[in-house]
């Protein structure tokens, strides 16, 4: 079981990583390609949730992908890209536009802070509404969009904070588990990321 090698990997994630192996203390290589498609939304979003959560733990994942034409790929460019896959043009675009840790969040007592530094712009949200916070917590895992959740998720979708496909949705921001965070040689602390003031 992969979590025995690195105790920071949740045991539930180890099922999705059965074909993975550690090549360094914080780096995994995954065997077969993962298929991202709207015809299997739960499985596709569950894989992205795992990538997102491992990124928050500082664990790099080398993986390959098959991305179907029905997949809303633009919203996942903040998640670690595959090192190879199909179609090659889309995978290459994902790799060149990847902005590591540009969409982060942290949990506070009775609130959630979301820091969005995508595309060179800085935007920040503080979620304090109990209904929105509950929806945010639910969307940390792939969820079927029910009537009540759809209404709340739509507010988050408008800001590109949620990936929605095939009637399912997932929160896109990475929850960073420890500071400071180094991104492409730049040290990000809670203050420089704008999360603590």
Q: How far out from the chain centre does Cα 104 lie?
A: 9
Q: Looking at 97, 120, 150, which one is the last position of a domain?
A: 97
Confidence of residue 185 (pLDDT cuts 50, 70, 90): very low
123 within domain boundaries: yes
Tally the domains of the chain: 2
Closest CA to 40 of 173, 137, 171, 167: 167
Q: Measured between alpha carbons, how far is residue 104 from residues 6, 169, 173, 179 in Å? A: 23, 17, 5, 12
Using DSSP's 3-state secondary structure scheme, residue 124 falls into strand
Range of the domain at 48: 2-97
193 within domain boundaries: no
Q: Measured between alpha carbons, how far is residue 123 from residues 6, 19, 104 in Å? A: 34, 38, 11
DSSP string, 141-176: S-EE--HHHHHHHHHHHHTT-EEEETTEEEE-SEE-
CB atoms inside a 10 Å sphere around CB 121: 8
pLDDT digits (tens, 9 = 90+) for 97-137: 888 888 999 998 999 999 999 888 889 999 999 988 988 99
- Residue 43 near residue 68, CB atoms below 8 Å: no
In this predicted model, which residue has the larger pLDDT, 197 or 95? Answer: 95
pLDDT digits (tens, 9 = 90+) for 143-166: 998 877 777 777 787 888 898 888
119 within domain boundaries: yes
Query: Both 120 and 138 in a single domain?
Result: yes
Query: Both 69 and 88 in a single domain?
Result: yes
Handedness of CA 184, 76, 155, 54 (dihedral sign): negative
Query: Both 93 and 108 in a single domain?
Result: no
Q: Looking at 52, 75, 97, which one is the last position of a domain?
A: 97
Report which secondary-structure segment, H or E, holds 5. helix 2-5
Query: Both 10 and 89 in a single domain?
Result: yes
Query: Both 89 and 128 in a single domain?
Result: no
Closest CA to 135 of 157, 115, 118: 157
């Amino acid at each position: 079981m992969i979590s025995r090698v690195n105790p920071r990997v949740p045991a539930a994630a180890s099922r999705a990583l059965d074909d993975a192996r550690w090549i360094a203390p914080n780096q995994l290589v995954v065997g077969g390609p993962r298929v991202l498609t709207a015809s299997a939304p739960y499985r596709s979003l569950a894989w992205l949730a795992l990538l997102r959560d491992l990124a928050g733990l500082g664990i790099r994942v080398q993986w390959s992908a098959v991305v179907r034409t029905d997949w809303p790929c633009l919203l996942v460019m903040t998640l670690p890209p595959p090192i190879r896959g199909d179609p090659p043009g889309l995978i290459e675009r994902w790799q060149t536009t990847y902005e590591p840790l540009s969409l982060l969040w942290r949990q506070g007592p009775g609130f959630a802070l979301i820091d969005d530094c995508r595309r060179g712009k800085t935007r920040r949200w503080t979620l304090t509404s109990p209904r929105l916070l509950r929806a945010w917590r639910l969307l940390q895992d792939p969820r079927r969009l029910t009537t009540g959740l759809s209404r709340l998720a739509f507010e988050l979708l408008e800001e590109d904070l949620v990936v929605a496909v095939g009637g399912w949705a997932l929160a896109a921001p990475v929850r960073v588990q420890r500071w400071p965070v180094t991104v492409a040689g730049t040290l990000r602390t809670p203050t420089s990321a704008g999360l603590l003031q």
